[in-house]
Amino acid sequence: MALSKELQNFAIEELKTLARIPSISFPGFDHSEIDRSAEATAVLLRKSGFQNVELLRIDGCFPYIVGDWFVDKKFPTLLLYAHHDVQPPGREELWKSPPFEPVIRDGRLYGRGTADDKAGILVHAAAAKHYVNLSAWPPVNLKIIIEGEEEVGSSHLFSFLKQNRERLEADVIVVTDTGNIKSGIPSLTTSLRGLVTVEIEIKSLKAPLHSGMWGGAVVDPAAVLIKMISKLTDDNGKILLKSIGRIPKAKKFRVPITKKEFASMAGVLKLNSVPDDFVSKTWYEPSLSVNAIQASSEKLANNIICDRAYARIGIRLTARENANRVHKELVRKLKAMTPSSVEIKITESEAADAWSTDPYSKRNRWAFEAAEAALEKGFGQKVVYMGCGASIPFIGPFENALSAPVITFGVEDPLTLAHSENESLFISDFYKVIDSEIEFFNAIGTQKK
């Protein structure tokens, strides 16, 4: 079944409406925009057939939007998840069109949040709207939850889950915040990496100094911070923390993507920088990135000694690590190697465990079979099972609390550039995912609970 033109227009126009709202959850941005996007999402869900739609807050957390569409208790209940907060736009000058004015170029919708994850919201909304357009009921019961703090680590998740457990109870969880391995190839994600981040500030002076007048006699905080960061990994990039598990021999994967394609999609400049086991490296091994580093700037580069240096470090984790343990050891190690001649402050950190699931287990199999069939109908292509190097802190705790299978329908592809400048959504895949979710409702609806 292909989507009706009416439903396609609905999906793309409503997506543009949401993507025009700069709902950035990071500190330092105007958070009233998150309230605005929560309100707009609530309006959209009501239009799409959901009932009891409301904004939920817990102790100062950005609003969740929840709703449901109860049909009949003999049907299975699905819990649909996406998030409405977005990453900051990054370097605005690199955007080919303004980040919060979504436009279509070459079959892709460009703009911050067009893919991650406002497209995810629209997949659920449009799949439900399909039944509204037909004046019909879906063959399943639906519950929906749209989060407002996913991009900043979902720190209120556990209290939210505790307070709203009953209203979230479901037989299957459907998440639309992942990607497909390649444009046009439907993929089901069975593992996600965890994440630990820290922000480090090193201070040694009240103000920057002339490097000629003072150099040699005062401590340079930028040099100190660089040395500290360099001690976190060895020359091969191996992370030097005891809480990081030993990396097992790389698994071989049959994936429909070559090293050259991978390099080209990533935009790497030197092909020799990509290892042969790039799949295993991104799906199943930990990695450390220096997300940001700042002392002075290129614009202000001058013969000075900076007063302060800053860095943000992020470590992606596998199921072998415990995020809290890694976080604790990282902070301890940074503090231990700080010379007594400077001040250190470590702030704004998050810790989320990795997640993985077995699609063939007794509990999960029925849902994965239905998902596979639905995606094959929606895309006209065989499904690829994949890992994913990114993190969605929501999934693990919800899977555990509800003891239900987690199905991921991805709206991203390798050209999406989520979190980077010129983020975009491949529109043809977007329609196919909506179609697949409708097929999934049909497939799962005929199953016995």
Q: Write out the residues near Zn ion by the rule CB under 5 A.
A: 116-117, 177
Residue 177 or 423 having the CB closest to Zn ion: 177
Distances (CA, A) of 202 to 45, 58, 107, 340, 395: 46, 34, 46, 11, 35
Report the C-alpha gap between 317 and 184 in whole angstroms.
28
The whole-angstrom separation of Cα 85 and Cα 149 is: 6
CB 425 within 8 A of CB 123: no
CB of 392 to Zn ion, least distance (A): 7
Could you tell me if 404 and 161 are in contact, meaning their C-beta atoms sit under 8 angstroms apart? no
C-alpha triplet 192, 25, 343: angle, nearest 5°: 90
State the virtual CA torsion across 415, 421, 422, 424 in degrees, nearest 10.
Answer: 50
Distance separating alpha carbons of residues 8 and 126, to the nearest angstrom = 8
Question: What distance in Å separates the CA atoms of residue 266 and residue 260, rounded to the nearest whole number?
Answer: 10
Closer residue to Zn ion, CB minimum distance, 130 or 156 = 156
User: What are the C-alpha distances in Å from 295 to residues 110, 203, 221, 345?
Assistant: 32, 10, 8, 15
Nearest approach in angstroms of CB 117 to Zn ion is: 4
How far, in Å, are 7, 123, 280, 282, 412 from residue 254 at the CA level?
Answer: 36, 29, 11, 15, 20
**Residues 380, 200: Cα–Cα separation, whole Å:** 48
Complex with Zn ion: residue 82 or 330, whichever CB lies closer: 82
